[in-house]
Amino acid sequence: MPRSTTLRQALVASIAVAAVLGTTLILAATQAPTGSSSGHQSPGNLHYAVTGSIEDINVSGTPVGFWPQYVIYDSQNGMLYVASENSQTVSVVDPNPFQVTQVIHTGADARGLALDPATGLLFVSNDYASNLTVINTTSNTIVKTLNYAPYGYMVGEQLDPATGQLLVLANNPPDSILSINPDTFNLTRVLPIDPNPGGGNGLAIDPSSHVIYFPSRGDLAVTEIGELNGTSFANVVVPGDEGPTSTFLDPLNGYVYVMLGGWLHDSPGNQLVVLDPTTNQYVGELTVGSWPDAYAYNASTQLLYVSCAASGNISIIDAATNQVAGSIDLGSDTLPGVIAIDPVTGDLYIGEDGTGALIQVALVASSVASTASTVSHGNPDGLMVASRWIEDLP
């Protein structure tokens, strides 16, 4: 069922903030614009703090509409696209200068985004509207609206590069993952899942075996589903009482990272477990921020960034060692959610539900050259220095 926006708004003022690692080393503040030509409301003052051995960074913010639910970076045109649930829009953001250049009005409750790089088509899942909006990223115009009744309440999707299929989570009985051909828009397969699944924008897919590792939050398990036939063949129970909110498969080590966020309004979790899919055994358990959910991954550094809304921080996981490497503390009123990474610069882009802003965390260019040659996984204090935790520059 769709989530209660009123309930989530009330949580902004009531969630306690917990630090994840170390002491605050840097405090950067930025004043958000008081108005916008796009009609967005201002998110107000934005304050950020960084913990761990992370120095010489720039942090800035731009309003993108309230409750940003997904952000994606288009490497073809260099633009960012942000779906905002309450504003029912997709904001087009130019990273340099960091500002909104266009606002596209979509269906009610814009939640998820998936980009087909071959065609330049951006698919937007609209929860309350129970449909998908298709945007041409060359012209940034809507070209089609897709309906797949009786399936509705589309809350998230992603494109499987191995099969070329668009996978959409439909949270309307019968709860299902819809497999859609992004070229013809035809529904090619329906993958049944248990009722009240709880997963959404982040689910792991093994491109070689075509297995989906679905975060079945309501079942306290990771459900393994055959993408090609829709058969659920295993339910791997997660430890503890907080169900998984998202899963991620590291293409380098083959492990599945399971974020145990539980439910934001009912004792959110703060654990991340590492699953070996060859044995279906957990090989690691890490304590991160509270309510881990959305994530972004930098393959060149093998660092996984996990948004933790209830504690207002981004936990940084070193997938090479399966250790918590550091944290970015964004503040008590931010509720960080969606997160994307620029694969060239390594800049992070984080959507904040609490402030309605997209923020950019970037390195100061002058600091990179002096530290890049000395950075390694063996940093003695167990944290990442500036040029390491974001990107190994070319």
User: What are 159's strand-pairing partners?
Assistant: 166
CATH fold group of domain 5-389: Methylamine Dehydrogenase; Chain H (2.130.10)
The residue that leads in pLDDT, 380 or 149, is 149
Instruction: Give pLDDT, residue 73.
Output: 93
Q: Assess whether pLDDT exceeds 60 at residue 69.
A: yes
Q: What pLDDT score does 308 carry? A: 94
Least confident range from 48-52, 80-84, 140-144: namely: 48-52
- Given pLDDT bands bounded at 50, 70 and 90, which one contains residue 11? very low
Mean pLDDT for the chain overall? 77
Mean pLDDT within 112-133: 93
CB burial class (10 A; 0-12, 13-18, 19+) of residue 374? exposed
pLDDT for 182-205, tens place per residue?
999 999 999 988 876 665 567 899
Confidence band of 294 (pLDDT split at 50, 70, 90): very high
pLDDT beyond 80 at 19: no
Beta strands 110-116 and 303-308: pairing type? unpaired
pLDDT of residue 361: 84
- More reliable by pLDDT, 334 or 83: 83
Q: Where are the domains of the chain?
A: 5-389
Q: Report CA-CA distances (Å) from 180 to 75, 302, 308, 334, 350.
A: 23, 31, 31, 34, 28
The predicted structure's pLDDT at residue 117: 92
% of the chain at pLDDT higher than 90: 49
**Distance, CA of 37 to chain centre:** 27
Euclidean distance between CA atoms 303 and 322, whole angstroms:
10
Residue with token string 């204090």: 381
The pLDDT assigned to 114 comes to 94
